[in-house]
Amino acid sequence: MSAITIDKTIKTAMENIESHHFVLPAIQRKFVWSPEQIEMLFDSIMRGYPINSFMLWHVEDAAIRNTQQFYGFLLNYCEHFHENNPDFASGAVPDFFAVIDGQQRLTSLYIGLFGTYRYKKAGKWYRDTEDAFPTRRLYLNLGRRLPSQIDNQKEYEFKFLTDDEVRSCNCNEGYFWFKVGEIAGFDDGKLVSFLFENKLHGNEFARATLMKLFRKYHTEEVMNYTTIASQDQDKVLDIFLRTNSGGTPLSFSDLLMSISSANWERHDARKEIANVRKLIFGFGNPNFNVSQDFISKAMLVCESEDIRFKLANFNLEQVRRFEAAWDDIKKALVSTFELLESIGYSDSLLTAKNAAIPIAYWLYKNRLADKVSKPSFPEKDRKSILKWLNLSLLKRIFSGQSDTILRRFREVIRNDSSGSFPFDEIVASCTGDAVKNYSFEDDFLEGLLSSQYQSPECTLVLQLLYPDKAIQFGKAVAQDHMHPKTIFEDKAKLAQLNLSDDDRKFFLENYNTVLNLQLLGTQENGSGGKGDTPLQEWASQKHVSTGDLFVDDDTSLAIEDFRSFIEARQRNLKASLRQILG
Per-chain mean pLDDT for the chain: 90
For the residues 468-488, what does the mean pLDDT come to? Answer: 94
Answer whether residue 108 is part of any domain.
yes
Any idea which of 100-104, 157-161, 226-230 has the lowest mean pLDDT?
A: 226-230
At residue 1, the pLDDT reads 36
Q: Count the Cβ atoms, other than its own, within 10 Å of residue 528.
A: 8
Which value, to the nearest 10 degrees, does the dihedral of the CA atoms of residues 466, 467, 472, 473 take? 60
Percent with pLDDT over 70 in the chain: 93
36-64 pLDDT, tens digit each: 999 999 999 999 999 988 999 999 888 78
State the pTM of this model. 0.64
Phi-psi region of 543 (alpha: psi -120 to 50; beta: other; left: phi over 0): left
At residue 539, the pLDDT reads 95
- 427 shares a domain with 406: yes
**Strands, E assignment, 26-103:** 54-59, 70-71, 76-78, 96-101
Answer whether residue 319 is part of any domain.
yes
Higher pLDDT, 510 or 315: 510
Higher pLDDT, 254 or 249: 254
Answer whether residue 354 is part of any domain.
yes
- 423 shares a domain with 448: no
At residue 210, the pLDDT reads 97
- 87 shares a domain with 198: yes
At residue 125, the pLDDT reads 87
Give 4's pLDDT tier (boundaries 50, 70, 90).
low
- 299 shares a domain with 192: no
- 41 shares a domain with 58: yes
Answer whether residue 4 is part of any domain.
no
- 397 shares a domain with 483: no
Among residues 514, 539, 378, 496, the alpha carbon closest in space to that of 455 is found at: 514
Q: How many domains, in total, are found in the chain?
A: 3
Any idea which of 125-129, 207-211, 555-559 has the lowest mean pLDDT?
A: 125-129
Answer whether residue 462 is part of any domain.
no
Answer whether residue 242 is part of any domain.
no
At residue 7, the pLDDT reads 84
- 425 shares a domain with 570: no
At residue 247, the pLDDT reads 46
- 498 shares a domain with 380: no
Q: How far is CA 111 from the centre of its chain?
A: 22
- 299 shares a domain with 217: no
Residue 491 has pLDDT above 70, yes or no: yes
- 402 shares a domain with 336: yes
For the residues 397-409, what does the mean pLDDT come to? Answer: 94
At residue 254, the pLDDT reads 65
Answer whether residue 468 is part of any domain.
no
Phi, psi of 232 (to 5 degrees): -85, 110
- 575 shares a domain with 518: yes
Phi-psi region of 419 (alpha: psi -120 to 50; beta: other; left: phi over 0): left
Residue 413 has pLDDT above 80, yes or no: yes
Higher pLDDT, 243 or 202: 202
190, 225, 260 - which closes a domain: 225
180, 208, 225 - which closes a domain: 225
Answer whether residue 90 is part of any domain.
yes
At residue 61, the pLDDT reads 86
- 274 shares a domain with 182: no
Residue 331 has pLDDT above 70, yes or no: yes
Residue span of the structural domain in which 15 resides: 10-225
